[in-house]
Chains A and B, each alone.
Chain A
Amino acid sequence: DQQVKQNSPSLSVQEGRISILNCDYTNSMFDYFLWYKKYPAEGPTFLISISSIKDKNEDGRFTVFLNKSAKHLSLHIVPSQPGDSAVYFCAASAAGTNAGKSTFGDGTTLTVKP
């Protein structure tokens, strides 16, 4: 049962344009969502998060949108830069658990072309 899905394994955009990465989830208990960026040979690095009480969170070039009714979130990167090229993971957790474990999606490889 794949509770967090990223249906696009890859995305290619031109430098300066917008990158939109999508994520869907099935578990209604999830109430905290995160995006991580991962470069080869490194661990995931936290990018931005959103609580289920919000529908938008913005941090510089990165904005995460949450649509609870659709169980969908997206990450917008504007403008995209070549250094943004990496694998992006969507992750979700449930505040009600004791552990705070994160359930990850499969990842989307973003390539930003100069």
Chain B
Amino acid sequence: EPEVTQTPSHQVTQMGQEVILRCVPISNHLYFYWYRQILGQKVEFLVSFYNNEISEKSEIFDDQFSVERPDGSNFTLKIRSTKLEDSAMYFCASSAARVMLPQHFGDGTRLSIL
């Protein structure tokens, strides 16, 4: 069964540095998402991406964050000037349709900001 893959599984970065989290969505999916889960908290929506542009973003997704689909397969989340509170699990998801079909999640990247 096709799956969403995320790399790296764990990223440790110094505060203030930039990080890029990578995702390879399922190949025939059209909608892409980033979510995050701070330890002990709920899964929170960050951003959705369709047709090479952001469809919706949450208030968490400020100017520090950006997303890109640089080629036909990868979907990246860039966090500039990381802060301690950015430490979380970041999940990428994709779906074949906007609604009425589930989102398929990757196993996440654990981001630790020191």
A70 in contact (CB, < 8 A):
no
- In the complex formed, the residue of B with least CB distance to A4 is B42
B44 in contact (CB, < 8 A):
yes
| A67-111 contact mask (Cβ, 8 Å, vs B): 1 or 0 | 000000000000000000000010101110111111111110000
Across the interface, do B104 and A100 meet the contact criterion of CB distance under 8 Å?
A: no
Give which listed residue, A43, A89, A100, A103, contacts B98 with CB less than 8 A: A100
- The distance in angstroms between the C-alpha atoms of A36 and B105, with both chains bound, is 10
Which residues on A sit within 8 Å (CB–CB) of B45? 101-104
Which residues on B sit within 8 Å (CB–CB) of A45? 105
Count how many chain A residues have C-beta atoms less than 8 Å from C-beta atoms of the other chain: 27
Across the interface, do B102 and A46 meet the contact criterion of CB distance under 8 Å?
A: yes
- The distance in angstroms between the C-alpha atoms of A60 and B50, with both chains bound, is 33
Beyond A43-B107, A100-B95, A107-B43: 8 further Cβ-contacts under 8 Å?
A43-B91, A45-B105, A98-B55, A99-B50, A100-B97, A100-B103, A104-B44, A104-B45
* Chain B residues close to A by CB (< 8 Å): 4, 6, 31, 33, 35, 41-45, 48, 50, 55-56, 58, 91, 93, 95, 97-100, 102-108
